[in-house]
Structure 1
Amino acid sequence: MPAERLLPTTEAEDLLALVRDIARDELAPHAAAHEESGTFPRDKFALLGKSGLLGLPYPERFGGGEQPYEVYLQALEEISSAWMSVGVGLSVHVMSSYALATFGSEEQRERWMPDLLEGAWLGAYALSESHAGSDAAALTTRATRSGDTYVVNGTKAWITHAGVADFYTLMARTADTGGKGVSCFFVPGSLPGIGAAHPERKMGLTGSITAQLQFTDVAVPAENLIGAEGDGLKIALSALDSGRLGISATAVGLAQAALDEAVAYAKQRTQFGRAIIDFQGLEFLLADMAAAVESARATYLAAARRRDRGLPFTRQAAIAKLVCTDAAMKVTTDAVQVLGGAGYTRDFPVERYMREAKVLQIFEGTNQIQRVVIGRELRR
């Protein structure tokens, strides 16, 4: 059954109705085949762009939807419920656009934001490295100033959309001063010297490309520096606060899909002359799954509403990411249990949902890092 939503405006209600139609008609029917073949659905992102969904939280004057995060995240949840790879890709694109939208100059935003928000360009967020995942300040990819360009060399790891993105929000070292020596750049994907390794062989989200991203003497114009030199880590962490809310919403969408599949199966599957949903042991399991989904949704919405009101939300975003992704892992695992042997086969989508849920506890800050963030905020 569709999630019940309390939306702030009639415009938001109409928007969510459109999103549900696209999710049902254009995304869900194609998800299984693409995930089976590992094919990246670039055409679906073009569709989202034409439908105005790639820039929902950004200003209308640049082509965005100017929607509050409370609304954007619920649209993202609906998309993720239909096709997780597309939902994660949308979240990554919105996060990749954040640095330019929030810290870019007016000239930079007028030049690039329309292409980002209207679907002409798809983005990627290039922060992590093989030895600098949770410890972002340890990154070694270097941008060396040479006249009116920065020459970039280094390798990024675990980059969603590596090799297929039209732009990269790149964090690179411009000085040997730890976290204070990291800067942020807007890097068009067409620049010479940018290459992607063979995509990672993942257990889930196989329709989404994840790979190492290599920079070899890439000449990035100095005018593509976002903010000032040394602002990169501040920009990156700020983007991650909002990005973690995106991952929280995708997690709840996945959990909702698993719950819906489990309930539908339990209603039609009979044992001992009764639908299995009528057995209290299974009924209680489904009730706990529903409670986990709805409480997780409430957690990310509470954080989003703080963001929309301009209040600090770092701690709340970390809590949402922790709660929502743990809930997704539990609910998808329980959905497999509800379907029993059928749930362990690829004839039903719940085994894929379970595989997809695991990475949510890892990327954009592991859930152990979320606990570090929460603890640090409590000590302030």
Structure 2
Amino acid sequence: MSALARSLRASTNVSRVAAARTQARAFSVSAARKDWDFTTVEKPGSLYNFTDEENLLRETVRKYATEVIEPKVREMDESEVMDKDVIQGLFDNGLMGIETPEQYDGAGMSFTSAIIAVEEIARVDPSVAVLVDVHNTLVNTVFRHHASDAVKEKWLPGLATNKVGSFCLTEPGAGSDAFSLQTTAKLDPSGDFYLLNGTKMWISNSGEAETFLVFANVDPSKGYKGISAFVISKDMGVEIAKKEQKLGIRASSTCVLNFDNIKIPKENVVGEIGKGYKYAIEILNEGRIGIAAQMIGLAQGAFDKAITYAYQRKQFGKAVGDFQGMGFQFAEVATEIEAAKLITYNAARLKEEGRNFTKEAAMAKYYASTVAMKAAGQAIEWCGGIGFTRDTGIEKYWRDSKIGAIYEGTNNIQLETIAKHLKKQYA
């Protein structure tokens, strides 16, 4: 026992402790101990500690986003189509297989590297960022974690080099309640293949995708325990039924998909039959950190553009940004962006360390999306009338920000997740 602990014990009034024992139970420190998950290191560092590889990636992605993506942002937004050269450039720069091992033609980098890439692209165009995010943190990750060696060898190289992937979970009647899905994959009596039937909606990347990771129920009588994951290619009969016209991230395709008696060879099962619901829960936790990265990049991009303009625009003989009221707003938003970044980086590192990160991922996604909406909205006001026009692209950040509170689990779902973890800790 330390000297400090002995001193505290000696000074305790034993009779008072005994009299208050019942009341003390209600305020037991055991609640805090349940959540004690800190590691001991020789020399702690800041959350801005990145490897040389991660820093080099950040520089590379920022350069590509600025030089190649940025000149095409407005055109892609207004046409609502992702430029094919931009997509090819993502493959050419290794950004579509960031965590994929080199043996499958990937870059073999860290999860945080994927988060950095999404963040840096989102500073320029959140539409492109979500394509990279879904492809890496959802599609590729399911294959890496759960697919057989044969499935990995067949599908991962294409996903790393030239084929966009799409994650197909949501349905018309299965949004926040993701496991009430109705799409079925019934095993043929021969045992050689499954017949896939059903409809998916709000599916990101589906317009550009060649590879689809589809969740379907092989035995509806088992409820969610019948859900399984399958991989199919577009040429197997995937019907792109409708492309949604959206408020924001318009260059990112979001489509309705129909599956009508698509034959899926039994070797196209990803992981184990009946374990699809577990894979989806696990992977969406990682995906939420990716959405948080998209939102902090978006917030920073809007902030950078708007504050630069505010210090160039002059009114009443001085820069708009030099007015105290404006400076206070800049400081508040900058602080919130910084906090969102740290929450996001922390969640990413927890995931890499193999520690529980579900609550932290929910916090990151919730807070970063909230900050993004505020930062983008404020950025328009800081730029006045020109911020309200499409000329600067600042209004696009605001339109793009709203989706952060909706996809991969609405903000109410994130709050529900956080609250459940708090109940486990304190109740």
Q: Using structure 2 for the length normalisation, give the TM-score.
A: 0.85
Write out per-residue CA displacement over residues 181-237 of structure 1, whole angstroms, 9 at most, x where no aligned residue: 111111112102x10122111111111111101101111111111111110110111
Q: Distance between the aligned counterparts of 2:371 and 2:184, measured in 1?
A: 38
Determine which of 129, 133, 143 is the counterpart of 1:91: 133
Determine which of 94, 113, 129 is the counterpart of 2:171: 129
Q: CA deviation at 1:7?
A: 4.5
Identity of aligned residues (%): 37
Q: Distance between the aligned counterparts of 2:310 and 2:207, measured in 1?
A: 42
1:244 aligns with 2:288: yes
AA of the residue aligned to 2:139: S
1:189 aligns with 2:273: no
1:117-266 alignment, distance < 5 Å = 117-118=160-161, 120-146=162-188, 147-176=191-220, 177-192=222-237, 194-266=238-310
Report SS of the residue matched to 1:133. coil
1:54 aligns with 2:89: no
**Aligned twin of 2:16:** none
Q: CA deviation at 1:338?
A: 0.6
Change in Cα spacing, 1:7 to 1:305, as seen in structure 2 (3 Å) is: same
AA of the residue aligned to 2:362: A
Q: Distance between the aligned counterparts of 1:341 and 1:359, measured in 2?
A: 24
Q: CA deviation at 1:27?
A: 0.7
Q: Distance between the aligned counterparts of 1:144 and 1:312, measured in 2?
A: 35
1:101 aligns with 2:144: yes
Determine which of 272, 281, 291 is the counterpart of 2:335: 291
Write out per-residue CA displacement over residues 55-100 of structure 1, whole angstroms, 9 at most, x where no aligned residue: 1122222222222222221121111111111101000111112211
Contact 1:100 1:186 (8 Å CA) reproduced = no
Q: Distance between the aligned counterparts of 2:235 and 2:358, measured in 1?
A: 34
Q: Distance between the aligned counterparts of 2:96 and 2:107, measured in 1?
A: 9
Write out per-residue CA displacement over residues 93-145 of structure 1, whole angstroms, 9 at most, x where no aligned residue: 11112211110011211221111112x11001100001100001100001010
Contact 2:289 2:365 (8 Å CA) reproduced = yes
AA of the residue aligned to 1:196: I
Report SS of the residue matched to 2:199. strand
Q: What 5-or-longer segments of structure 1 have no aligned partner?
A: none
Q: Distance between the aligned counterparts of 1:71 and 1:161, measured in 2?
A: 21
Contact 1:140 1:173 (8 Å CA) reproduced = yes
Write out per-residue CA displacement over residues 312-337 of structure 1, whole angstroms, 9 at most, x where no aligned residue: 11111111000111110110011111
Q: Distance between the aligned counterparts of 1:5 and 1:257, measured in 2?
A: 21
Determine which of 339, 345, 361 is the counterpart of 1:301: 345
Q: CA deviation at 1:42?
A: 3.0
Determine which of 318, 343, 353 is the counterpart of 1:274: 318
Determine which of 356, 361, 366 is the counterpart of 2:410: 366
Change in Cα spacing, 1:197 to 1:108, as seen in structure 2 (3 Å) is: same
Q: Distance between the aligned counterparts of 2:301 and 2:395, measured in 1?
A: 12
Contact 2:242 2:257 (8 Å CA) reproduced = no
**Aligned twin of 2:61:** 19
Q: Distance between the aligned counterparts of 1:241 and 1:368, measured in 2?
A: 15
Report SS of the residue matched to 1:172. strand
Contact 2:112 2:348 (8 Å CA) reproduced = yes
**Aligned twin of 2:26:** none
Q: CA deviation at 1:376?
A: 2.1
Q: Using structure 1 for the length normalisation, give the TM-score.
A: 0.96
Report SS of the residue matched to 1:197. strand
Contact 1:174 1:183 (8 Å CA) reproduced = yes
Contact 2:100 2:109 (8 Å CA) reproduced = yes
AA of the residue aligned to 1:140: Q
Report SS of the residue matched to 1:238. helix
Q: Distance between the aligned counterparts of 1:342 and 1:16, measured in 2?
A: 30
Write out per-residue CA displacement over residues 151-191 of structure 1, whole angstroms, 9 at most, x where no aligned residue: 01100010112243111111101112221111111111210
Aligned length: 375
More off after superposition, 76-85 vs 149-158: 76-85
Q: Distance between the aligned counterparts of 2:314 and 2:74, measured in 1?
A: 26
* TM-align CA RMSD: 1.4
Report SS of the residue matched to 2:308. helix
Larger radius of gyration: 2
Report SS of the residue matched to 1:144. strand
More off after superposition, 329-338 vs 368-377: 368-377
Q: What 5-or-longer segments of structure 2 have no aligned partner?
A: 1-45
**Aligned twin of 1:377:** 421
Contact 1:7 1:71 (8 Å CA) reproduced = no
**Aligned twin of 1:328:** 372
1:74 aligns with 2:116: yes
**Aligned twin of 2:359:** 315
Report SS of the residue matched to 1:187. strand
Q: Distance between the aligned counterparts of 1:257 and 1:240, measured in 2?
A: 25
